[in-house]
């Protein structure tokens, strides 16, 4: 519950800051965050194929 309150507080601060920034800057930062998330997701997907994580169906932790 405290995590949720903290997350909402941070979200409010970020949205308050975005309200005072010009629209092109907000769009550029949003695109940078989206690119970072896409790269992170692709890296996580590729690391799963190489066997970087234990497979729970084949003798993983029980």
Q: How far is CA 51 from CA 28, 29, 61, in A?
A: 35, 34, 15
Q: What is the pTM of this model?
A: 0.54
Q: Residue range 44-55: average pLDDT?
A: 69
pLDDT digits (tens, 9 = 90+) for 7-46: 988 888 888 888 888 989 989 988 999 999 999 999 999 9
Q: Where are the alpha helices (DSSP H) in 1-62?
A: 2-19, 23-49
The residue among 58 and 29 whose pLDDT is bigger is: 29
pLDDT reading at 51 higher than 60: no
């Amino acid at each position: 519950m405290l995590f949720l309150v903290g997350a909402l507080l941070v979200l409010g601060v970020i949205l308050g800051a975005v309200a005072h920034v010009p629209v092109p800057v907000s769009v550029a930062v949003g695109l940078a965050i989206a690119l970072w998330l896409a790269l992170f997701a692709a890296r996580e997907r590729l690391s799963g194929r190489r066997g970087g994580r234990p497979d729970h169906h084949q003798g993983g932790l029980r």
